[in-house]
């Protein structure tokens, strides 16, 4: 959606296909910030069918591919509800006799198979091997490939994707919708204590909660004045049970649940430091959590595990501290910033600057448009 908004500002027409928030057999189409959004019909909760395999969703999208025409079709995944309509459109529009070429791009934003996110969920290893062929093969078939991290860029190269067809394109942030707000005012509005050091964590998928809990226990034992604010939960709400067992919820740990995105700036700006715990796994090395860009935009420093792309960015832009090792090392890095508020303030300023420049969607969308034009002006589809 961040890229779609900016493309519309540049005068382009953008259709964004996504799943409905709630079970809906009819689906819905509406405009938001000039982007035409189609929420495809489905039943059951989000996350059913392991995402992307719901038959009604797939059937609706396949039917829609026989209507309309586009100049660029960008598939942000390899799951059936993205890949199947992408492949059908590719065949239909390429065979339509159009004078202008059509660009078929693919995005790689997570390491799914081959030891990644979904490998452990498969009952039979052959399923993972089959999906790996789809995950990697769809990128080879694309005219151009955007990757969210240098780790996935290397995987794309190893899979046979030509480097000239690759663009390292991180996720970003819409800084116009993410103002830096006064900490005291935010805490007053949210009912948070004014006299505490508040550490923040946000996410719809609550990964690595065990690591976060262990690190916060170590911090809290040494700085009893520290509190932890966890915003989000979504389909993994149960991951927060660990905090109910170990801490005084409502006093030392605050769990407001899923908040509208418009409220995220207020929550994050109420914090002193943002936390990004990550166990050292291939999925964490390859991904770039969206929360990192939101952390930058809040103007607060980030303390993260020294893992993968997130660590590389934090160190490159000097927006926080990274810690090699486990929970104790992560806690020590956080305690260092708590004990050095001037350094924390300076890192926070650099974080906001990074959000306003390199990681703004306005900047990233220019890179994307340049990439589209580079591919379109070459031998597209050959």
**Mode of pairing for the β-strands spanning 302-305 and 253-257:** unpaired
User: Which pLDDT value is given to residue 291?
Assistant: 95
Angle between helices 2-9 and 361-376 (to 10 degrees): 70
CATH of the domain at 154: 3.40.50.2000
Residue 382 resides in a domain: no
User: Which pLDDT value is given to residue 381?
Assistant: 45
Residue 110 resides in a domain: yes
pLDDT per residue rounded down to tens, the chain (382 residues): 999 999 999 999 999 999 887 788 888 999 999 999 999 987 766 554 457 888 888 999 999 999 888 999 999 989 999 999 999 999 998 877 777 789 999 999 999 999 999 898 888 899 999 999 999 999 999 999 999 999 999 999 999 999 999 999 999 999 999 999 999 999 999 999 999 999 999 987 778 999 999 999 999 999 999 999 999 886 667 778 889 899 999 999 999 998 999 999 999 999 999 999 999 999 999 999 999 999 999 999 999 999 999 999 999 999 999 999 999 999 999 999 999 999 999 999 999 999 999 999 999 999 999 999 999 998 444 4
Same domain, 242 and 138: no
Tell me how far CA of residue 57 lies from CA of 10, 36, 53, 255, 375, in angstroms.
Answer: 30, 18, 8, 33, 30
Interatomic CA distance for residues 232 and 268, integer angstroms: 12
Residue 381 resides in a domain: no
Residue 326 resides in a domain: yes
Give the three-state DSSP class for 49: helix
Residue 215 resides in a domain: yes
Terminal-to-terminal C-alpha distance of the chain: 29
Which pTM was predicted? 0.92
Same domain, 183 and 242: yes
User: Whose CA is closest to 292, among 278, 302, 281, 306?
Assistant: 302
Interatomic CA distance for residues 149 and 110, integer angstroms: 9
Same domain, 122 and 192: no
Same domain, 216 and 301: yes
Same domain, 288 and 260: yes
Same domain, 365 and 230: no
How many structural domains is the chain composed of? 2
Backbone angles phi, psi at 38, to 5 degrees: -115, 115
Question: Could you list the residue range(s) of the whole structural domain that residue 209 is in?
Answer: 177-356
Same domain, 189 and 234: yes
The answer to whether 81 and 61 are in contact (CB under 8 A) is yes
Residue 216 resides in a domain: yes
User: Which pLDDT value is given to residue 380?
Assistant: 44
The answer to whether 323 and 304 are in contact (CB under 8 A) is yes
Interatomic CA distance for residues 202 and 205, integer angstroms: 9
Interatomic CA distance for residues 73 and 14, integer angstroms: 10
Same domain, 130 and 256: no
Same domain, 51 and 75: yes
Same domain, 145 and 256: no
User: Whose CA is closest to 347, among 293, 296, 275, 276?
Assistant: 296
Same domain, 134 and 267: no
Backbone angles phi, psi at 296, to 5 degrees: -55, -45
Which DSSP state fits 121? Answer: G
Interatomic CA distance for residues 382 and 377, integer angstroms: 12
Same domain, 149 and 267: no
């Amino acid at each position: 959606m961040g890229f779609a908004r900016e493309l519309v500002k540049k005068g382009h027409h953008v259709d964004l296909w996504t799943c409905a928030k709630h079970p809906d057999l009819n689906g819905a189409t509406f405009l938001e910030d000039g982007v035409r959004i189609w929420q495809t019909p489905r039943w059951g909760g989000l996350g059913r069918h392991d995402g992307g395999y719901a038959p009604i969703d797939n059937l609706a999208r396949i039917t829609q591919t026989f209507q309309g025409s586009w100049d660029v079709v960008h598939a942000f995944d390899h799951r059936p509800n993205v890949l199947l309509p992408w492949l059908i459109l590719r065949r239909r529009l390429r065979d339509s006799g159009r004078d202008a070429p059509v660009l078929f791009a693919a995005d790689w934003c997570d390491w799914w198979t081959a030891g990644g996110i979904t490998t452990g969920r498969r009952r039979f290893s052959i399923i993972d091997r089959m999906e790996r062929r789809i995950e990697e093969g769809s990128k080879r078939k694309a005219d151009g490939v955007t990757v969210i991290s240098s780790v996935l860029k290397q995987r794309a190269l190893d899979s046979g994707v030509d480097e000239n067809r690759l663009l390292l394109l991180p996720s970003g942030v819409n800084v116009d919708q993410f103002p830096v707000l006064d900490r005291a005012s935010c805490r007053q509005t949210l009912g948070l204590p004014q006299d505490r050091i508040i550490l923040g964590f946000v996410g719809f998928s609550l990964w690595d909660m065990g690591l976060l809990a262990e690190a916060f226990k170590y911090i809290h034992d040494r700085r009893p004045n520290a509190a932890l604010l966890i915003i989000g939960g979504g389909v993994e709400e149960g991951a927060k049970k660990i905090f109910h067992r170990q801490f005084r919820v409502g006093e030392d740990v605050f769990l407001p649940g899923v908040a509208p995105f418009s409220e995220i700036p207020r929550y994050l700006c109420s914090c002193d430091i943002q936390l990004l715990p990550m166990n050292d796994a291939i999925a964490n090395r390859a991904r770039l959590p969206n929360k990192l860009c939101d952390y930058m935009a809040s103007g607060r420093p980030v303390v993260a595990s020294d893992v993968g792309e997130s660590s590389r960015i934090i160190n490159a832009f000097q927006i926080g501290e990274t810690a090699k090792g486990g929970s104790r090392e992560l806690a020590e890095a956080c305690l260092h910033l708590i004990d050095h508020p001037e350094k924390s303030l300076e890192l926070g300023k650099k974080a906001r600057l990074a959000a306003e420049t390199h990681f703004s969607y306005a900047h990233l969308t220019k890179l994307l448009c340049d990439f589209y034009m580079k591919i379109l002006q070459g031998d597209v589809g050959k």
